[in-house]
Amino acid sequence: MNRLAKSGLPLFFELENPEEIGFTAPENRLGDSLTTSVRSLSVMQKEAVVASSRTGKAWRLSSDEGAYLNGDDEAPCPLAFLTAGMIASYTNEIVALAAQRGVAFRHLRLTQDNFYTMEGSMPKRTMVGGALPVELEVEIDCDADDKTITDLVYNAVAASPLNGLMRSSHTSVFALARNGVELEPDRVAGLDRPIYPDPGDLFDLARPMPLEVEGELTWNGGETPRIEGDAHAGGQGSSLQDEQKRQLHIGAICTLRPDGIKEITQLQYSPHGTNKILLSEEAPINGGQGRAPDANTYISAGIGFCFMTQFGRFVAMMKKDLEEYRIVQDTHFSLGGASGGTGVAGTADPVETHVYLKTSENEEFAREILDISEQTCFLHAFCRTDLKTKLRVTRQTQAA
């Protein structure tokens, strides 16, 4: 059942009552700390509420997968969220640093490509997800010389809070509960404190605030163009094969609209799928109007959604019982070096995740599915891998 379509709710909305129903942010540790609560609606459909300690906002976001995972393609895939948050964060820092250095531009467009790998056998428990370096092209039209622009862009990318997750290896930490009883994890690193309360059905109590933009905050944008030489596996259930050796390719293009909102086109090259358009804007405390989810919200949601997908994928492939599964995840980012005025590179702490399972399977299964989900999660691989962004700066004489 396509529960997202049948709910009658917008795919993305700001909550009117987050604190009233228990969706609150953690203590602000570095500059912005976010709690992301995610539940499964079906095998591949999920919803999340992301609450930020800095902005005071809480956003409800929805995710789905395409035919390659037998999804309904109703909402952006999990990897779309991190890519959208990353490109929005880079845009924030470029705009802020340009203003600080007195560089005025007539045109700015960012094009980003994220790559991931999946290799191994699920029945043999050797399947592993990986993350590869990011490619970013910045097209800009301004009067500054090439050296000034190149230096600005390189410094802005380093200033992004996401830099803290990319430029060092972070070991994510976890707490686990099965049927309401907390268990010690097996292979993954454990949290050094008790598990959070299970959010249960609090999601059903969320009330949406009226949208402040015309239309929706996300919508379909048509079929992704095919790239020669890229892998295009996207057929029904193609990502559920027992043995896999493939590379995923998720792209995004970000432009600034006249109203100041960032419009991000997410491109699903491999596995091949449809474009999704996502809007992003920073909250008033960060210099925007808060009419759409901010960069850190998208990044945090992406990590949570991707991790949750691995639970659904494992039980679908292994034919196990998992009646319900939810997580509560904390992410901690510094302020942006330019947008937050710190003047230094962005930093972040390891991701902290609390996992809640309802299953007739035994405790060994609960520990195993946590281990396998972390092992196959592309975005936990992104966090534990020291990655670089490969930059290219292109001068433009007119808007594309």
pLDDT bin (cut points 50, 70, 90) of residue 398 is low
**By percentage, how much of the chain surpasses pLDDT 70?**
98
| Residue 38 binned pLDDT confidence (cut-offs 50, 70, 90) | very high
Alpha-carbon span 353 to 373, nearest angstrom:
12
pLDDT in tens, 189-233: 999 999 999 999 899 999 999 999 999 999 999 999 888 766 556
DSSP 8-state assignment for residue 168: S
Confidence of residue 400 (pLDDT cuts 50, 70, 90): very low
**What pLDDT is stored for residue 399 in this prediction?**
44
Q: What is the mean pLDDT of residues 3-17?
A: 96
User: Above pLDDT 90, what percent of the chain?
Assistant: 92
Residue labelled with tokens 């890229």:
230
> Which of 278, 212, 271 is closest to 57 using CA atoms?
212
Q: pTM for this one?
A: 0.96
Burial pattern 20-46, b for ≥16 Cβ within 10 A else e, equals ebebebbeeebbbbbbbbbbbbbbbbb
With a cut of 80, say whether residue 4 has pLDDT above it.
yes
Residue 27 CB contacts under 8 Å (≥ 6 apart), including other chains: 33, 53
Place of tokens 């493939």: 246
Give the mean pLDDT of 349-354: 98
Q: Tell me the domains of the chain and their CATH numbers.
A: 3-395 (3.30.300.20)
What 3-state class would DSSP assign to 169? coil
Given a cut of 80, whether residue 397 has pLDDT beyond it is no
Distance CA 16, CA 218 (A): 19
Model pLDDT for residues 248-264, shown as the tens digit of each residue: 999 999 999 999 999 99
Are 161 and 338 within 8 A, CB to CB? no
By three-state DSSP, how is residue 273 classified? coil
pLDDT tens digits for range 51-110: 999 999 999 999 999 999 999 999 999 999 999 999 999 999 999 999 999 999 999 999
**What value does the mean pLDDT take over residues 298-324?**
96
Q: Which residues of 300-320 are buried (b: 16+ CB within 10 A; e: fewer)?
A: bbbbbbbbbbbbbbbbbbbee
C-alpha–C-alpha distance, residues 157 and 337, integer Å: 9
Q: How far is CA 63 from CA 2, 41, 153, 223, 298, in A?
A: 12, 10, 31, 18, 11
Angle at 287 between CA 138 and CA 97, to 5 degrees: 40
Contacts of 354 (CB under 8 A, 6+ apart): 174, 175, 176, 177, 191, 195, 196, 327, 328, 329
Mean pLDDT of 368-380: 97
User: What are the pLDDT digits (tens) for 158-189?
Assistant: 999 999 999 889 999 999 999 999 999 999 99
> pLDDT digit string (tens) for 22-33?
999 999 999 999
What would the pLDDT profile of 122-135 be if each residue is shown by its tens digit? 999 999 999 999 99
The pLDDT, as a whole number, for residue 396 is 81
